[in-house]
Structure 1
Amino acid sequence: MKEASSKTNDHCLSRRSFVILLIMKGSMMKKLAALGLLAVLVITSIAPAFAQDKVTLTWYIGLGTGAQPEQQEVQEAVVDAFNSSQDRIEVVMNVVENSVAYDTLSTLIAAGNAPDIIGPVGTDGSNGFGDSYLDLTPYVEDYDLSIWPEAAVDFYRTDAAGLIGLPLATYPSMIWYRPELFDEAGLNLPPANYGDPYVWDDGTEAEWNIETMTELAKILTVDANGNDATMEEFDPENIVQWGFDYQWYGDGRQIPTLFGNFSLYDPETGEAVIGDAWREGFQWWYDGMWAENFIPNAAQEGSDLLAAGNVFNSGNVAMGNTHLWYTCCVEGTDWDIAPVPSYNGETVARLHADTFRIYEGTEHPEEAVEFLYYLVTDASLDLLGVYGGMPAVIEDQQAFFDGLDETYTQGVNWQVALDGVAYADVPSHEAWFPNYLAARDRVTQFVTLLNSTPDLDVQAELDALQADLQTLFDEAS
């Protein structure tokens, strides 16, 4: 740009010289003057074109987190640093409150004004636009993906859309447990590592699987008289401590994931499917509430005894299954974490993850991928400082856990969280399906029915759910 301006000034000076020579030299000077003037006009017309060569990308924030004032301040600094680091791309932010972010984005897309970058947002939050994201596969061939665990990258690969994101924040799941309650029951603690067996108090070993965890959960479920759920005297109407629960399970697809990876939609056939593993998982959960009583039902979860829904934090649930983000809401130091149990020899530690996505209709996919890669690498620690979440970049993870140790001083076995990423559910339990919001609501209705109603035929209700999902999927197509 400076070079173009210099040339323009030189030619302006030359033009004035030609005017003087024109008076002195006649027609020959007229021709030379005309050529000089033409050069000035050409260079002047080219200079604005150089200025307009910068690509503008819009970053849409609010569909997930990112709209809080302290977050916006960091995001602005990240954008300023990127914009000043090169002269080809200019990023502008569009921050929208979460409560209106979905409708606003829908309007922008319908009007042909879709943003280029969207996020941060989790899998579920992004699924309202799940068929609208760019497949990054052909654009990341020259980028280093080895900085992340392979499973963390594969988490963003789908059969229907390809690679739709790169890892930023990951939230592995694990079993959270209360050592004090195990000690009171005379039980050894759960295993510390994936692949380790559970050791019973008599020294015998058992595979750490759903069956073993269920046995423990029954022993750890206690009524007001001190009887546990394995005893004939146990009173299921007067329980004061439960052996297991899922801590906040969203629309309910988290529940059967302990039993295997699965999606409710087959993109190749367009069919709604509920696999045998998930059918068994929902049946196990239902029986645990209403027949075997080691899992609290909805009314019990909402009671003061179980902290009005924050059940594990109440201290009256011995084991809970949830994600690393639960450090937001657990108090005290009498807890630790353990691997999730296997089922039929398979271990699935479902994963939650936040990142950015690129709209498939972007006019500048290569530049958008360049900015996305910057966000999840160079800028990731700054962003995660206000977003929260375990860094997906391997070399950044130890510092994150060192920070947690300052709050939770009991010596939490964080290695379980790190190792759990390798067992992530692919496809994700939050995977996209057609007519996403309506179909998800139908799943929620099913789960609400199960945890509030005894004496149901669970398999018949699953059949009804599958039929309703098929109707909703067909409506979308």
Structure 2
Amino acid sequence: MGALTRRELLRRAAYIAPTAALWPALLTGCSEEKQSSGSAGGGSLDILVGFGTGNAPEQIRVQEELAKSFEASGGSPIAFRRIPDGEAAQRQLGVLIAAGTPPDIILPTGVYGISLYLDQNIWLDLAPMLRDANVDLNLFVDAAVTAAKAPNYYGPDSDVIVGLPDGVFTHTIAYNKDLFAAAGLDEPPHQWNTAGWDYDALLAVTKALTLDSSGRSAADAGFSADDIVQFGLGHWDTGLMALGYGAQKYDPQSRRLLLDSPENIAGTQFGADLVNVHHVLASDQLAAGVAAGADDPQLAAWKSGKIAIIDMCGCDLQTFGLDNQFEWDVAAWPKGPERLVSTLNLDVGAIVAAGSQPEAAFEALRYLLVEPDNARRLSTKGYGAMSPLRSEQSAFLDELKGDFPGIDLQLFLEAFPFSVNQEGWFPAFTEVGDLGGQFLDPIALGTSTAAEQLPLYQQAAQKLVDRWFQENELPS
């Protein structure tokens, strides 16, 4: 698996922190990616796969079959350029453009990948082609259309479309039913926004589910935090929890980051305390202690019954959801002090503006992402996602229910009203992210506090934002 997978890219976006390997909520890849090389030949459309998911063997098969079907229908041949490492794929795009040999399409890329290059004129505006082809964006769910318009950069009233939606992922939590039963605990609610299911309730439950080798829980006197054999929480997005406190990253009106807001400080500290004060959340290092030798300690700890509750992206179902040797199910995310919020991941197919075949590239995207049968198959089978087409949303349940009998998959669909995409662009997007580790890692490690570090991060990052505005202008 590559060094930076889809879930890790999303974690970066959630907290603007590239050195998040030290962050308590390390999230692992949405799919098992397998190295596969290739580059486009003459006359073929070159599709780069690697900004997110798409390189797992079962995903490759579906993509290749759809590519052959497109060619058989009269479309251009498609050659996939596969780079399983997300960071390498992002770097390679810049290298290829500089060399005059850019790919024609990036498919798929999340909003994070779009945001990395949004202010560099990399992406072709698809709006004119969509109008000429009479493609109505109302075919897609609203959240996917918003992501495709990149309003943080182009403005809320712009008609620019930087990509065609190709996949939507919502999140629930997943829990080990056997561990809940052994602890004598009620299972978490299967209804979103249930009264009483909040961050404090989550903390109480995960304390009861975190055990040392003597069987004492994290709520018991004499509990040994140095001898934990079972964690209440793992594979978890602490950056998201700050949003539950009401935090925001950036205010476009004032052109200021909000990293040191009281809400962000409180939410960030709560997330760090889950590891360092309450000892209920397994960081990667701690998960490795109960799943020694595993390439993915969070996955191994969950599979071996050493973690009771995890964040479950729809993209995690094929890894964290299959072949478990215990009873499990999904439930709703808990509510923060200010709001109930879960993660919404959105993928698009984007055309590289420097490519030599924009019309042919658009026809490929239209075939793959607008025609319902193809779009459904590519999203659900090719990427493990929900289709962003309104008419095909239920296909997610139809495709997966046979693999997950008894699992409350309907919760993924019901998550939409509470789901927020965290990957949107803001000025100096990459530079602010690159700066984050030096301020966030001490919080994550418990050697400093959010109240100490986030004002310093705000001061340093705001200088980058101010410089961006000195050197650039937003599109008018």
- The counterpart of 1:95, out of the listed 72, 78, 81, is 81
* Alignment match, 1:417: 412
Structure 1: stretches of 5+ with no match in the other structure:
1-55, 198-205
Per the alignment, in what secondary structure is the counterpart of residue 415 of structure 2? helix
1:24 is aligned to: none
1:220 matched residue in structure 2: 209
Q: Which has the higher contact order (CA 8 A, sep 6+)?
A: 2
Provide the secondary structure at the position in 2 that maps to 1:303. helix
Q: 3-state SS of the aligned residue for 1:187?
A: coil
Aligned to 1:347: 340
Q: Which of the residues 370, 374, 377 maps onto 1:377?
A: 370
Residue matched to 2:106: 118
| Partner Cα separation in structure 2 for residue 344 and residue 68 of structure 1 | 39
Whether the 8 Å CA contact 1:160–1:267 is kept in 2: the answer is: no
Taking the aligned partners of 2:129 and 2:341, their CA distance within structure 1 comes to 30
Aligned to 1:235: 224
Question: Counterpart of 1:40?
Answer: none
**Aligned positions of 1:172-183 closer than 5 A:** 172-183=170-181
Distance 1:393 1:407, change over 3 A: same
Supply the distance in 2 between the matched residues of 1:85 and 1:298 (Cα, whole angstroms).
48
State how far apart, in whole Å, the 1-side matches of 2:94 and 2:329 are. 42
Contact kept? 1:255, 1:281, Cα under 8 Å: yes
| Change in 2 beyond 3 A, CA 1:57/1:345 | farther
**AA in 2 matched with 1:280:** A
Does the aligned pair in 2 maintain the 1:336–1:413 contact within 8 Å? Answer: yes
Judged with a 3 Å threshold, the aligned counterparts in structure 2 of structure 1 residues 298 and 74 are, in CA distance, closer, same or farther, namely closer
Match of 1:462 among 441, 446, 454: 454
SS in 2 for 1:160: helix
Structure 1 Cα separation of the partners of residues 101 and 256 of structure 2: 33
1:39 aligns to what? none
Could you tell me how far apart the structure 1 residues matched to 2:114 and 2:229 are? 39
The answer for the alignment partner of 2:403 in structure 1 is: 407
Specify whether residues 424 and 374 from structure 1 end up closer, same or farther in structure 2 by C-alpha distance, changes over 3 A only: farther
Aligned residues: 403
Kept after mapping to 2: 8 A contact 1:71/1:386: yes
Is the CA contact 1:120–1:354 (under 8 Å) kept in the aligned structure 2? yes
C-alpha change, 1:447 and 1:177, in structure 2 (3 Å) is: farther
What is the CA distance between 1:73 and its match in structure 2? 6.2
**C-alpha distance 448-406 of structure 1, shift in aligned 2 (>3 A):** farther
Identity of aligned residues (%): 27
Indicate conservation of the 8 Å contact 1:123/1:354, yes or no.
yes
Query: In the alignment, which residue of structure 2 is the partner of 1:14?
Result: none
* Counterpart among 111, 115, 119 of residue 127 in structure 1: 115
Q: Deviations over 1:89-137 (max 9, x none)?
A: 7575462534553333213434566555322122333433233334556
Q: Take 1:327 and 1:446, find their aligned partners in 2: how far apart are those partners? A: 33
- Cα offsets for 1:42-80 (capped at 9, x unmatched): xxxxxxxxxxxxxx9955313424567876665455345
Alignment of 1:134-153 (within 5 A): 134-136=124-126, 140=130, 142-153=134-145
Q: Which moved more, 1:169-178 or 1:135-144?
A: 135-144
Answer with 186-195 or 90-99: which moved more: 90-99
TM-aligned CA deviation for residue 394 of structure 1: 4.3
Are the aligned partners of 1:57 and 1:117 in contact in 2 as well (CA < 8 Å)? no
Change (3 A) 1:240 1:461: same
Q: Once the 2 structures are TM-superposed, how far is the Cα of residue 350 of structure 1 from its aligned partner?
A: 0.7
Q: Aligned residue for 1:191?
A: 189
Structure 2 alignment gaps of length 5 or more: 1-42, 472-476
Q: CA deviation at 1:214?
A: 1.9
Q: CA deviation at 1:369?
A: 5.0
